[in-house]
């Protein structure tokens, strides 16, 4: 309960911020970023989503936090669009099941894009497999409505959930994101290598782009490149950065 009121206060007083982790292509050029939510706690310092998103969901605060997050992401896209080094970048945002399922989600996104003037074509929504298990029709209808506005969809943590592969082709996805648990030992473990290889070819055969997350070493990257993966995110390239640090990094890579 104490944390709940602290979260409400953070919402009211600008206590959240976003960090941006670069996503790169085969050349190492930045093609986008994932927005990662942080809570700047007055005493505890930076608090990570694992520690407060579940509580925020239970407390019914996730739509308000989600609104802030989408607004901030769209403001960032508008800022980026004004500078040559960042103008082409896409931004991925994490949307929880509860947020996506909310009846007001699509209109919330619409309103925020209209209010900020962000290019919807640069906004990518990361969903997880749990969204595919239940109420596929609701998921599909909302995805199609958002796709019609230009948004794209990435399936996060792919391979760790329980979704049927049949759903993949029934939903208008744009990208598969290989979960970092497979990437971790991809260069040394035969099973992880086989799963990763299968995900990459599945994605490409379905016409989706494939991004690997949690890429930490050159060995992992070399394996992924050899298997045809074309986008990468992880500490090998960069940790999540504050907005200011991200701009400086994009400039240095441009
Ligand atoms: O770096 P990090 O600890 O931020 O990410 C941990 C987890 O928190 C990830 O699984 C990520 O999907 C989730 N997460 C990060 N930002 C957000 C967000 O804005 N909304 C939601 N719902 N989850 C997020
Ligand atoms: O949304 P998702 O669950 O995929 O969130 C990604 C999480 O992985 C975030 O907590 C992010 O900070 C973290 N992360 C990003 N790159 C790396 C990496 O190279 N190694 C590890 N261990 N974690 C990473
Ligand atoms: Na994510
Ligand atoms: Mn993930």
By DSSP bridging, strand 175-178 and strand 152-158 are: parallel
DSSP-derived secondary structure for 164-182: -HHHHHHS---EEEE-HHH
Q: Which residues contact 216 (CB under 8 A, 6 or more apart)?
A: 183, 184, 234, 235, 236
Predicted-complex ipTM score: 0.93
pLDDT band at 161 (very low <50, low <70, confident <90, very high): confident
| Per-residue pLDDT reduced to its tens digit, 30-83 | 999 999 999 999 999 999 999 999 999 999 999 999 999 999 999 999 999 999
The three-class DSSP label of residue 233 is coil
Pocket lining: 48 vs ligand 1, CB cutoff 6 Å:
yes
Q: Nearest C-alpha to atom 20 of ligand 2 is from which residue? A: 214
Q: Nearest C-alpha to atom 11 of ligand 2 is from which residue? A: 240
Cα(213) to centroid of ligand 4, in Å? 7
Continuous H helices in 102-213: 105-116, 130-133, 136-148, 165-170, 180-184, 190-205
Q: Tell me how far apart the alpha carbons of residues 80 and 82 are, in angstroms, rounded to a whole number.
A: 5
């Amino acid at each position: 309960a104490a944390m709940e009121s602290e979260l409400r206060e953070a919402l009211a007083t600008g206590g959240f911020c976003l960090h941006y982790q670069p996503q790169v292509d085969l050349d190492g050029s930045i093609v986008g970023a994932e927005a990662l939510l942080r809570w700047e706690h007055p005493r505890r310092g930076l608090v990570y989503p694992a520690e407060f998103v579940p509580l925020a969901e239970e407390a019914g605060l996730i739509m308000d936090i989600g609104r802030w997050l989408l607004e901030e992401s769209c403001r960032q896209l508008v800022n980026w669009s004004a500078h040559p080094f960042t103008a082409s970048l896409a931004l991925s945002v994490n949307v929880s099941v509860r947020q996506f399922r909310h009846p007001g989600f699509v209109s919330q996104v619409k309103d925020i894009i209209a209010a900020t003037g962000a290019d919807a074509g640069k906004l990518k929504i990361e969903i997880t497999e749990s969204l595919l298990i239940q109420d596929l029709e609701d998921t599909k209808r909302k995805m199609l409505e958002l796709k019609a506005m230009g948004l794209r969809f990435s399936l996060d943590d792919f391979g760790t959930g329980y979704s049927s592969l049949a759903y993949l082709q029934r939903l208008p996805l744009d990208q598969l994101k290989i979960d970092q648990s497979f990437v971790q030992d991809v260069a040394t473990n035969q099973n992880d290598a086989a799963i990763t290889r299968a995900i990459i070819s599945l994605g490409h055969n379905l016409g989706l782009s494939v991004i690997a997350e949690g890429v930490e070493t050159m060995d992992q990257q070399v394996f992924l490149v050899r298997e045809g993966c074309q986008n990468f995110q992880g500490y090998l390239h960069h940790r999540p950065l504050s907005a200011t640090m991200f701009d400086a990094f994009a400039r240095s890579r441009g």
